[in-house]
Amino acid sequence: MNEKDIEYFREVLTNHLEELLNHADNTVSDMTAPKENLPDPTDRASFESGRDFMLLIRDRESRLIKKIKMALDRIEDNTFGVCETCGEDISIARLKARPVTTQCIDCKTREEAIERARGL
Ligand SMILES: [Zn+2]
């Protein structure tokens, strides 16, 4: 991978990280909306399930944030784009589709096949 590709991925990952961090802030302020504004129990229930949903989203987001930070660390270490399983280069096309990936398509496919075989 050349310097230009590295810069491209650094920018994509940094922008995505900022987006997620900004969004996480918004979610927090939404969640602190006082319940007293919802006297109807039905409204309250939908507020509660909405909050569960948001927590689920936030959980997924925080995991993605972690993955993006790890990808940025790999850029700093010059190990970005190298498959952590076989050590081969991950294709640029695959990285563009999923910049946080740590495995080449062969290893990923093999791993998924094994997981499926285990019934996971
Ligand atoms: Zn691999």
pLDDT tens, 41-97? Answer: 777 777 778 888 889 888 999 999 999 999 999 999 999 999 999 999 999 999 999
pLDDT at 37 exceeding the cut of 70: no
Ligand 1: centre distance to CA 91 (Å) = 10
Q: Are 27 and 58 in contact (CB under 8 A)?
A: yes
Ligand 1 centre to CA of 39 (Å) is: 55
CA of 42 from ligand 1 middle (Å) equals 51
Distance 3 CA to ligand 1 centre (A): 22
Q: Distance between CA atoms of 9 and 83, rounded to whole angstroms?
A: 16
Q: How far is the CA of 106 from the centre of ligand 1 (A)?
A: 6
Please give the Cα distance from 32 to 11 (Å, whole number): 32
